[in-house]
């Protein structure tokens, strides 16, 4: 048994006559000075007994005042904390009731759309869960895509009914020869819990009707992108007879090339952008990862499947080579396509000033990450983080990244987060330069709601940015609330999801590249 010992900070290390220092066992600093008895007697002789008593009373009353002040401070602190907690509870309830109301609205929209089957429905936004239809044949789970949608009549293009191409998504399971599909991952029988055999679930998209409309989003100020877009638009129209939407800037560029491009459609305002998802069957991006992020950010709800062509330097989300765009688009328009379903995060800011208001600021959707940092301030950011209202930690450092798994290879990776396969659902909680030796990044489950608050006593404000854009300031008391969005982004795969992911980390980052050790050396016997 190991011996135990106690250090008493009243023990003297000296011989009693001289002034001696008593080191504190915890911090090693001296915190009291004992005087020798002789010195004390001398002091007492110098003072009359009455004066000494008065002095003691003064000292005593001062000590009492200090204690009272400390107690008052503690009580005030406690009251403040209680008020803050009550305020957060109230906001949480407000938030929850708002979400419930939204869900009800969504649900009744979906039900109405199903009941009426009206082709005049302009904008049907359904929860993916409402679409889910299980189909056990071929061991596939399926989601049917669309309702019949009417062209919203924008751009005075035409007012005739136009149907969006419909498609099915199926989750393929490796090694399933028959129709038996194991629906439950976890089963519970006679007190025993067991899990079903894990199977690879590559998602496949099959067109049920031919795609008719494509939207092409391009990186600006790039000659090679401009040349390619001209060629692609021409080919898609002449060979495939497709309707084509481009950004207003690109339409101007095309028309300056030739007036024969006047069939190309575009939009004029945000309202028209918000209706794009009801018309577009396929979204093509020409650029790097930034262009995919840009394209996704245009869709605040459902996003059409994206075919990302690589015209940047890195390309984690852009597996297609522009040189073979015709073969590639031929195959994609025909289907079926392997896709990566990339989750997005929905974030909104709750302002302390507007805490009594029902409406919060516009919800932002991110494909990579939302970052809360110190911006131009040179002070440490101080961020209180809660997960489903449980306190997680207080981040003191340059900031915090809340990332999707798609974003795990971007800023989060640079800040020391793990790389995660994009189809793993989860939220990465990665600090930026934390001033602590023990802060490691976390990966939280998909269903949680994370709240990051700038404390009321923070020395400075914080700044939040969404996929590296749209910086907004968070003042003391403001909070950012973030959870998984119901509208993922599907990107077409070159091969399949895992193969594409591994290729991107090998090619893009030279992950774990090392010369192979030669065989001529010491060997295990
Ligand atoms: N220190 C950093 O690594 C750092 C700092 C700021 C922003 N970023 C990233 O830049 C993103 C914005 O991209 P942008 O193109 O608009 O800005 P940008 O032009 O500054 O490019 C940033 C770089 O990040 C790469 N990138 C973007 N998304 C990626 C992903 N999911 N996986 C791997 N690499 C990715 C891009 O290819 C590009 O090379 C932000 O979402 C953030 O993740 C990274
Ligand atoms: N359609 C667009 N409209 C406006 N800005 C865009 C558009 N597409 C991309 N951007 C912006 O242009 C910048 C560069 O885009 P992108 O990352 O695609 O190209 P890149 O920098 O050449 O690629 P890489 O980062 O792989 O080298 C990004 O900040 C992105 O937000």
Q: What is the pLDDT of residues 334-343, one digit of tens each?
A: 999 999 999 9
Q: Where are the beta strands (DSSP E) in 351-498?
A: 364-366, 369-373, 381-387, 390-403, 427-434, 442-444, 450-453, 462-466, 469-474, 479-484, 489-492
- The 3-state DSSP class for residue 507 equals helix
Q: Which atom of ligand 2 is nearest to the CA of 469?
A: 31
Task: Count CB-CB contacts under 10 A for residue 206.
Answer: 14
Q: Which atom of ligand 1 is nearest to the CA of 414?
A: 3
Tell me which ligand sits closest to the C-alpha of residue 285: 2
Maximum Cα interatomic distance, the chain, rounded to a whole number of Å: 113
290 Cα to the center of ligand 1, angstroms: 7
Note the pLDDT of residue 9.
35
DSSP conformation class of 265: B
């709240």: which residue's tokens? 451
Cβ atoms of 398 and 376 closer than 8 Å: no
Ligand 1 contact, 478 CB (< 6 A): no
Q: Which of 409, 410, 415, 503, when mutated, tests ligand 1's pocket best, judged by the most ligand atoms within 8 Å of its CB? A: 410
Q: What is the mean pLDDT of residues 48-61?
A: 78
pLDDT per position as a tens digit, 361-370: 899 999 999 9
Query: How does residue 48 score in pLDDT terms, banded at 50, 70 and 90?
Result: low
Ligand 2 contact, 312 CB (< 6 A): yes
Residue of higher predicted confidence among 72 and 142: 72
- Taking alpha carbons only, the member of 377, 320, 321, 369 closest to residue 344 is 369
- Among 103-117, 199-213, 293-307, 350-364, name the one with the lowest average pLDDT: 103-117
Task: Count CB-CB contacts under 10 A for residue 105.
Answer: 11
478 Cα to the center of ligand 2, angstroms: 31
* % of the chain at pLDDT higher than 70: 75
Q: Which of 245, 291, 414, when mutated, tests ligand 2's pocket best, judged by the most ligand atoms within 8 Å of its CB? A: 291
Ligand 2 contact, 308 CB (< 6 A): no
> Which amino acid residue places its CA nearest to atom 44 of ligand 1?
411
Cβ atoms of 150 and 113 closer than 8 Å: no
Q: What is the mean pLDDT of residues 156-181?
A: 61
Q: Which of 31, 54, 210, 289 is catalytic?
A: 289
Distances (CA, A) of 51 to 35, 40, 133: 20, 15, 92
Cβ atoms of 362 and 348 closer than 8 Å: yes
Note the pLDDT of residue 182.
44
Whether 17 is catalytic: no
Q: Could you give the CA distance from residue 428 to residue 412 in angstroms, rounded to a whole number?
A: 8
- The 3-state DSSP class for residue 179 equals coil
469 Cα to the center of ligand 1, angstroms: 11
The token duo for 140 is: 């596939």
Give yes or no for residue 179 having a pLDDT over 70. Answer: no
Q: What is the 3-state secondary structure (H, E, C) of 36-93?
A: CHHHHHHHHHHCCHHHHHHHHHHHHHHHHHHHHHHHHHHHHHHHHHHHHHHHHHHHHH
Q: What is the mean pLDDT of residues 265-285?
A: 97
**Average pLDDT of the chain, as a whole number:** 80
ipTM of the complex: 0.95
């Amino acid at each position: 048994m190991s011996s135990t010992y106690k250090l008493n900070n009243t023990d003297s290390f000296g011989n009693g006559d001289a002034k001696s220092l008593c080191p504190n066992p915890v911090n090693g600093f001296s915190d009291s000075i004992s005087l020798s008895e002789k010195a004390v007697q001398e002091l007492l002789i110098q003072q009359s007994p009455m004066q000494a008593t008065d002095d003691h009373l003064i000292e005593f009353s001062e000590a009492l005042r200090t204690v009272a002040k400390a107690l008052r401070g503690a009580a005030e602190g406690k009251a403040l904390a209680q008020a803050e907690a009550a305020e957060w509870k109230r906001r949480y309830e407000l938030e929850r009731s708002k979400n419930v109301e939204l869900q009800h609205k969504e649900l009744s929209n979906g039900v109405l759309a199903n009941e009426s089957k009206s082709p005049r429905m302009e904008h049907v936004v359904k929860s993916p869960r409402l679409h889910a239809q299980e189909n056990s044949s071929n061991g596939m789970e399926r989601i049917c895509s669309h309702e019949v949608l009417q062209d919203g009549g924008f751009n005075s293009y035409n007012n005739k009914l136009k149907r969006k191409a419909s498609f099915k998504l199926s989750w393929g399971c490796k090694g399933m020869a028959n129709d038996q599909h194991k629906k439950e991952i976890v089963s519970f029988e006679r007190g025993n819990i067991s899990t079903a055999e894990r199977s690879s679930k590559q998602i496949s998209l099959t067109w049920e009707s031919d795609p008719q409309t494509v939207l092409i989003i391009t990186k600006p100020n790039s000659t090679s992108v401009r040349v390619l877009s001209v060629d692609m638009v021409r080919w898609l129209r002449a060979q495939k007879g497709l309707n084509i939407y481009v950004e207003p800037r690109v339409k101007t560029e095309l028309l300056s090339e030739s007036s024969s491009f006047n069939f190309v459609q575009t939009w004029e305002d945000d309202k028209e952008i918000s209706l794009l998802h009801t018309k577009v069957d396929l979204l093509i991006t020409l650029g790097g990862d930034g262009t995919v992020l840009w394209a996704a950010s245009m869709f605040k709800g459902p996003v059409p499947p994206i075919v990302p062509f690589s015209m940047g330097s890195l390309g984690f989300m852009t597996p297609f080579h522009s040189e073979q765009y015709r073969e590639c688009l031929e195959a994609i328009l025909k289907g079926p396509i392997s896709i990566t379903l990339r989750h997005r995060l929905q974030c909104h800011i709750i302002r302390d000033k507007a805490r009594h208001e029902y409406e919060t600021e516009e919800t932002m959707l991110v494909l990579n990450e939302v970052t809360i940092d110190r911006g131009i301030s040179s002070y440490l950011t101080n961020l209180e983080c809660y997960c489903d209202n449980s306190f997680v930690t207080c981040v003191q450092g340059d900031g915090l990244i809340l990332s999707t798994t798609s974003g795990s290879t971007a800023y989060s990776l640079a800040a020391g987060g793990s790389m995660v396969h994009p189809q793993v659902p989860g939220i990465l909680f990665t600090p930026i330069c934390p001033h602590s030796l023990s802060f490691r990044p976390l990966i939280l489950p998909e269903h949680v709601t994370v709240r990051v608050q700038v404390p009321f006593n923070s020395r400075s404000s914080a700044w939040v940015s969404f996929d590296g854009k749209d910086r907004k300031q968070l003042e003391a008391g403001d909070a950012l609330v973030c959870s998984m969005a119901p509208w993922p982004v599907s990107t077409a795969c070159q091969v399949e999801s895992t193969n594409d992911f591994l290729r991107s980390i090998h090619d893009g980052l030279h992950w774990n590249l090392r010369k192979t050790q030669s065989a001529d050396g010491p060997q295990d016997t």
